[in-house]
Amino acid sequence: MSDTTPTAARELSAQYQPAEVEQRLYEGWVAAGVFAADPASDKPPFAIVIPPPNVTGSLHIGHALDHTIQDSLIRRRRMQGYEALWLPGMDHAGIATQNVVERQLAASGQSRHDLGREEFVERVWQWKAESGGKILGQMRRLGDSVDWDRERFTMDEGLSRAVLTIFKRLFDDGLIYRAERIINWCVRCHTALSDIEVEHSDDDGELVSIRYGEGDRSIVVATTRAETMLGDTAVAVHPDDERYKHLVGTLVELPLTGRSIPIVADPHVDPAFGTGAVKVTPAHDPNDFEIGQRHSLPSLTIMDETGIITVHGPFEGLDRFEARPAVVAALRAEGRIVAEKRPYVHAVGHCSRCGTTVEPRLSLQWFVKTAPLARAAGDAVRDGRTRIEPPELAKRYFAWVDNMHDWCISRQLWWGHRIPVWYGPAGEVRCVGPDEEPPGEGWTQDNDVLDTWFSSALWPFSTLGWPADTPSLAKFYPTSVLVTGYDILFFWVARMMMFGLYAMEGRQPFDVVALHGMVRDQYGKKMSKSFGNVVDPLDWIERFGADATRFTLARGANPGADVPVSEEWCQGSRNFCNKLWNATRFALINGATVEGDLPSAAELSTVDRWILSRLADVTETVDRHFEAFELAKVCDVLYHFAWDDVCDWYVELAKPVLTGEDAAAAGRTRRVLGHVLDALLRLLHPVVPFVTEELRTALVPGGGSIVTAAWPAASPEARDTAAEAEVAGLQRVVTEVRRFRADQGLRPGQRVAARIDGLEGAGLSAHSVLIRSLARLDEPGDGFAATGTVAVGGGVEVALDTRGSIDVAAERARLTKDRAAAEKEIAQCRAKLDNPAFTEKAPAPVVGKIKERLAAAEADLARVSAQLAALAG
Q: Could you tell me the CA-to-CA distances from 242 to 216, 245, 249 in Å, in that order?
A: 14, 5, 14
For the stretch 286-334, pLDDT in tens is 999 999 999 999 999 999 999 999 998 999 999 999 999 999 999 999 9
The band of 872, judged by pLDDT with boundaries at 50, 70 and 90, is low
**In the predicted model, is pLDDT for residue 751 greater than 80?**
yes
Find out whether 485 and 518 touch, Cβ atoms under 8 Å: yes
DSSP H or E segment with residue 430:
strand 429-431
Query: Tell me, what's the pLDDT at 10?
Result: 43
**In the predicted model, is pLDDT for residue 5 greater than 60?**
no
Query: Tell me, what's the pLDDT at 642?
Result: 98
Domains and CATH numbers, the chain: 43-174+380-516 (3.40.50.620), 191-360 (3.90.740.10), 566-719 (1.10.730.10), 732-872 (no CATH)
Sign for the pseudo-dihedral over CA of 850, 855, 859, 865: positive
pTM of the model: 0.86
User: H-type helices in 567-662, by residue range?
Assistant: 567-589, 606-627, 631-640, 651-658
**In the predicted model, is pLDDT for residue 9 greater than 50?**
no
- Chain Cα centroid distance, residue 239: 46
**In the predicted model, is pLDDT for residue 3 greater than 60?**
no
Q: How far apart are the first and last CA of the chain?
A: 48
For the stretch 14-60, pLDDT in tens is 889 999 999 999 999 999 999 999 999 999 999 999 999 999 999 99
Q: Which residues contact 414 (CB under 8 A, 6 or more apart)?
A: 98, 112, 117, 120, 121, 449
Find out whether 637 and 611 touch, Cβ atoms under 8 Å: no
The band of 200, judged by pLDDT with boundaries at 50, 70 and 90, is confident
Question: In terms of pLDDT, which residue wins out, 533 or 684?
Answer: 684
For the stretch 155-167, pLDDT in tens is 999 999 999 999 9
Query: Tell me, what's the pLDDT at 845?
Result: 79
184: helix, coil or strand? strand
For the stretch 620-648, pLDDT in tens is 999 999 999 999 999 999 999 999 999 99
Question: CA nearest 491: which of 401, 419, 557?
Answer: 401
The band of 684, judged by pLDDT with boundaries at 50, 70 and 90, is very high
**In the predicted model, is pLDDT for residue 1 greater than 50?**
no
Annotated binding site for ATP: 529
| Percent of the chain residues topping a pLDDT of 90 | 79
Compute the average pLDDT of residues 723-734: 95
How high is the mean pLDDT of the chain?
93
Q: Which of 201-215, 397-411, 460-474 holds the top average pLDDT?
A: 460-474
Annotated binding site: 529
CA distance 242 to 252: 18
Query: Tell me, what's the pLDDT at 789?
Result: 87
Find out whether 730 and 792 touch, Cβ atoms under 8 Å: no
The band of 870, judged by pLDDT with boundaries at 50, 70 and 90, is low
**In the predicted model, is pLDDT for residue 7 greater than 70?**
no
For the stretch 228-287, pLDDT in tens is 999 999 999 999 999 999 999 999 999 999 899 999 999 999 998 888 999 999 999 999
Question: In terms of pLDDT, which residue wins out, 98 or 342?
Answer: 98
Find out whether 709 and 678 touch, Cβ atoms under 8 Å: no
Q: Please give the single-letter amino acid code of residue 603.
A: E
Sign for the pseudo-dihedral over CA of 385, 390, 394, 396: negative
For the stretch 129-144, pLDDT in tens is 999 999 999 999 999 9
For the stretch 793-851, pLDDT in tens is 888 999 999 887 767 777 788 889 999 999 999 999 999 999 998 888 888 878 888 99
Compute the average pLDDT of residues 114-127: 96
The band of 514, judged by pLDDT with boundaries at 50, 70 and 90, is very high
Find out whether 69 and 48 touch, Cβ atoms under 8 Å: no
